[in-house]
Chain A
Amino acid sequence: MTSAEVIAPKKNLERLLLALSGGVLLFLIACSIAPQWMATASPTDMRMDRVLLPPGGDHWFGTDNLGRDVYSVVVHGSRYSLLIGVASVVLGCFAGTLLGLLAGYFGGIWDAIIMRVVDTLMTIPGILLALAIAASLGPGMRNIVLAVAISSVPGYARIMRGGLLSLQNRPFALAARSLGASRPRVFLLHLLPHSLPPVLLMAALGIGSAILAGSGLSFLGLGEWKEVPDWGAILSQGRSYLTVAWWISTFPGIAITLFVLSINLIGDRLRDVFDPAGPLE
């Protein structure tokens, strides 16, 4: 694709999709910050006489087996998904880039050690590692965040290190060195800013997969007890009622999908803008 094709979205469809994505994200962020305004009822209001009602009337998404309004539960539960997504990415990105930076800067034995550790973490594929960590740390949001963060560290570390290594022999870096700039100065002021974009891009796209991983762990039963269940937990709850109440599992799933899809659409557009040549290996 030429850069012109890349930078200016020609299709109205693309513009529309981006606008929709932005809208969805804003809506979900609003739900996370002020759920009481976006919901139609209290999520903890258990009406025993309104159990398992199909969508319609007062209950846009129906009610669950405890008589709670599913729409309101989904709205209130959005903050957990947002939290897991953002927190685990911030944590993982920070830790990973730090490791990558140290490995790239010091090189030698430190590089070897750090990359060995990273490789070891990588031998256990994604969810499995998060699963094992979440299992050992015990149930809870905080532990799910940690687990997902730790399993994403290798990715960031590698990209950071790779970026630094490939850039340090570029003309501009060598020129700076020859002008007398110290090594730390070169790294921090010249190499780091150029290596960051792919990392940040990865982080932006990583939010989506973090949300998927987090809700997956919650679905498997590794989340903690909350008065208002998060999306993964309510999806799991709905499984037993699939034959009599399809709405309990369906709507939270739609919420997760829309959330992640919006992030991915925007992230893709960002990638096209910032990194048209493709990610650095």
Chain B
Amino acid sequence: MSMKNKSYRTKKLPLLFLTAALLLTACSKDREGSASSGTPASAPSSAPSSESASETVPEAPVPGGALSYGLASSPDSLDPHVSGLDVASRVMRNLYDSLVSLTPDNRIEPWLATEWSLSPDNKSYTFKLRQDVKFHDGTPFDAEAVKFNFDRIVDPATEASIALSYLSLYESSEVLDPYTLRIHLKSVSASFLRDLSLPSLGIESPAAIRKHGKQVGRQPVGTGPFRFVKWDENSAIELERNPDYAWAPGFHSNPGQPYLERVVFRIIPEEATRIASLQSGQAHAIEGIPPQNVAALKNDPAYTLIEQDSLGLPFSLFINERTPPWNELKARQALQLAIDFDSIVQSLYLGTYKRAWSPLTPSTFGYDSSLENAFAPDPEQAAKLLDELGWKPGADGIREKDGNKLTLRYVESLPNREKRNEIAAIIQQQLKAVGVSVEVNLTQDVSTVVLIDKAYDLFGSSNAALDPNSLKTFYHTDGLTGWPSLSGFDDPELDRLLEQGEVELDDAKRDKIYKEIQRKIIDNAVVLPLYVHPFTVASSTQVRGLAFNALGYPLLNEAFLEK
């Protein structure tokens, strides 16, 4: 499940991002120097490599050319208000601009908004907007346009998806003059300003919306460095350079129109096909490198591999506490101890994914690193805990109590992504060893099974997000837009902490709040965190200037193809 949510800050991210950008441009020069040893294409380390930095000779960008970028799945819509898939943002980031930009070193800087101020009660933002911006259809960008966008997102008729979750505290906007907008929030929000930087809250042309209505997702019009050309269903999305572009965020070295003439986002869901298209030259860059191919690409001097940990909530198994015995802490702890998470992550992902220990990923703000290695697999202890609860092994090895067998319903979705179905297979065997009978239910209709029927005991989910506030959606008893929470864990103290985290503007205090939240979640075994999904992109060395933001969306302003 991918649902982007609120924004946030980090210290490690800017280094990662900068290194990535530098290495991409410098790497081929590096490798030309050390040809025979077959130096592996480096993935960014946590400190910038000063060697490659000093060897960087800025290449003169070559204007023109068409970049072919392979996506791992198909966007559902290019209307940021309505799109529910993270993959759409890869494309949308280059079609739409946002009010503010998130710099590589994690500050919020002006973009379409030149300056802003906060009201004394911290609930209203007044933005001054740029006056030289035009939409791709020629209509001018102004305060009315922004108001139109935000009002549209909260309008039920729009059926907005992810965008709506970022505007959950939005009340209204007031146009003070053609280029000044005041936004009123229902309450203080620590993440609002950061969320504004996301493509989901990018600004669409009101004229285009009026003209196309619900179909605007297939005829997108924004203010971004690229314009929409066409979308061949399930095949490719083509964008062309916007020659009028002159308002790139400050951190870009290229403030105006991009060097590339065209960008083609190819949709290649099959892993083997995607790799093949990179190797055959059909695609210049591809995302979503399967673990089994990472080593080969890393060691191949013809390609550059970027690996970056994702932000937000790692893939974790939510335990449904509504059905006994999983309402008992001991039973849940037994699961924590019976499953060998490390061996699962190591062997399935061949060492390319990290083990998750917390409901947040390590790069997310507020991450509690003290949770790492807090416990080790201990099947004997797990067995003991289950014994204490009265579940005794029966003749077939499966535990029984009062004539009932100890069963666990494990629900996973189809089609298989990130080898999650294989995780189910492994856990089924590991839990059998301690006497728990696991029924695996692979279904295309997860939502019905989980949200309506609640016929599950274990269900896995992850969530890409900039800000830890997205924990609220998944852990607050009322967080899941009208549906019951995934775990059924009902703790007023946790709810209070999550609510506090949303409105606390002081970073130090916020950090403390989120550390408490994580500890509570893990101590109560509400979820079983499993792996941190890295964002991976491999590109041929012909591609220069390719950059990525903190969430892994490609930034193509400076990209060009070496001849």
- Interface of A toward B, CB cutoff 8 Å: 44-46, 48-49, 51-52, 65-67, 139, 221, 224-225, 227, 239-244
Contacts and interface: CB of A to CB of B under 8 A. Distances in A.
Contacts of A242: 272
Contacts of A65: 292, 347-348, 419, 422
Contacts of B471: none
Interface string B345-385: 01110100000000000000000000000000000000000
B275 A243 contact: yes
B440 A225 contact: yes
Minimum-distance CB pairs A-B, first 5:
A48-B347, A48-B343, A225-B440, A225-B442, A51-B347
B122 interface: no
A105 to B, nearest CB: 44
Contact of A221 (B348, B415, B425, B428): B415
Contacts of A139: 442
Given A48-B343, A48-B346, A241-B292, A225 B441 contact: yes
Interface in B403-453: 414-415, 419, 422, 424-426, 428-429, 440-442
B478 interface: no
26 contacts: A44-B429, A46-B426, A46-B429, A48-B340, A48-B343, A48-B346, A48-B347, A49-B347, A51-B347, A52-B292, A65-B292, A66-B348, A67-B347, A139-B442, A221-B415, A224-B442, A225-B424, A225-B441, A225-B442, A227-B425, A240-B271, A240-B290, A240-B292, A243-B272, A243-B293, A244-B293
Given A221-B415, A227-B428, A240-B292, A66 B440 contact: no
Contacts of A244: 292-293
Q: Which of A66, A221, A224 has the most CB of B within 10 A?
A: A66
Nearest to B348: A65
A240 B442 CA distance: 19
Given A65-B348, A244-B293, 8 more contacts: A44-B429, A66-B347, A66-B348, A66-B422, A66-B425, A67-B347, A225-B440, A227-B428
A99 to B, nearest CB: 33
Contacts of B275: 243
Given A240-B292, A244-B292, A221 B414 contact: yes
Contacts, number: 48
A227 to B, nearest CB: 7
Contacts of A225: 424, 440-442
Nearest to A50: B347
A125 to B, nearest CB: 24
Interface residues of B, number: 25
Given A65-B348, A240-B290, A242-B272, A46 B415 contact: no
Contacts of B347: 48-49, 51, 65-67
A243 B292 contact: yes
Q: Which of A45, A139, A221, A225 has the most CB of B within 10 A?
A: A225
Contacts of B428: 227
Contact of A66 (B292, B426, B442): B426
Contacts of B344: 48
A177 B307 CA distance: 84
A240 B288 CA distance: 13
A111 to B, nearest CB: 41
A240 B346 contact: no
Contacts of B419: 65
Contacts of B441: 225
Contacts of A46: 425-426, 429
Q: Which of A46, A51, A139, A241 has the most CB of B within 10 A?
A: A46
A46 to B, nearest CB: 5
A52 to B, nearest CB: 8
Q: Which of B292, B344, B415 has the most CB of A within 10 A?
A: B292
Nearest to B415: A221
A245 B428 CA distance: 24
B162 to A, nearest CB: 27
Contacts of B422: 65-66
B405 to A, nearest CB: 16
Contacts of B424: 225
A244 B347 CA distance: 14
Contacts of A66: 347-348, 422, 425-426
Contacts of A221: 414-415
B555 to A, nearest CB: 30
A268 B271 CA distance: 41
Nearest to A237: B422
A243 B422 CA distance: 19
A44 B293 CA distance: 26
A227 B440 CA distance: 9
B415 A240 contact: no
Contacts of A48: 340, 343-344, 346-347
Contacts of A52: 292
B16 to A, nearest CB: 28
B274 to A, nearest CB: 11
A46 B422 CA distance: 11
B110 to A, nearest CB: 45
A241 B415 CA distance: 17
A65 B348 CA distance: 7
Nearest to A227: B428
B289 to A, nearest CB: 12
